[in-house]
Amino acid sequence: MRIVLDANVLVSAFISAKGAPALILERWREAEFDVLISPEILSELDHVLHYPKLRQHYHLPEESIEGFLRLLAKQAIHVAPTEQLAVVERDPTDNRYLECALAGKATIIVSGDRHLLELGRYREIQILTPAGFLAFLKLARL
């Protein structure tokens, strides 16, 4: 199974070892599914993790941020989207997740972003919350 993780899910998993996002990363490391990533997603994640307020509030050292970005860069499957979409009009940057999912033939996007979640589905791609994705994995094991 191939999935795309929204930056908000990745950031949540990075700043807290508890909760659904962290469990998703743990399952990924156990090779239960593949994570797809594009240069645009990596760039957004790098940008968000370097927000001064976020770094200060969660005491995020540069070495930890760089290590997390390197892990994703090495372990995730890199995708170079060729199709530009304009599906999410209220937040055009959310289209990068749809583009990555299409280019990499993902079946699921995991996001906490309401604009993506409101879609529910795009073409053959389901859009689930982190908790929804974990429930999906549990059902898939039965």
- For the stretch 63-114, pLDDT in tens is 999 999 999 999 999 999 988 877 777 878 889 999 999 999 999 999 999 9
Q: What per-residue confidence (pLDDT) applies to 3?
A: 97
Range of 72's domain?
Answer: 2-141
Residue 58 has a pLDDT of 87
Percent of the chain with pLDDT over 90: 76
Question: 85 versus 8: which is more confidently predicted?
Answer: 8
Note the pLDDT of residue 139.
87
- C-alpha distances (whole Å) from 9 to each of 13, 84, 128, 140 are 6, 23, 11, 21
SS3 annotation, 42-99: HHHHHHHHCCHHHHHHHCCCHHHHHHHHHHHHHHCEECCCCCCCCCCCCCHHHHHHHH
pLDDT of residue 142: 62
Placement of tokens 């990924």 in the chain:
28
What one-letter code names the amino acid at 16?
S
Token output for 22: 């962290």
- Report the CATH number that the domain containing residue 107 is assigned in CATH: 3.40.50.1010
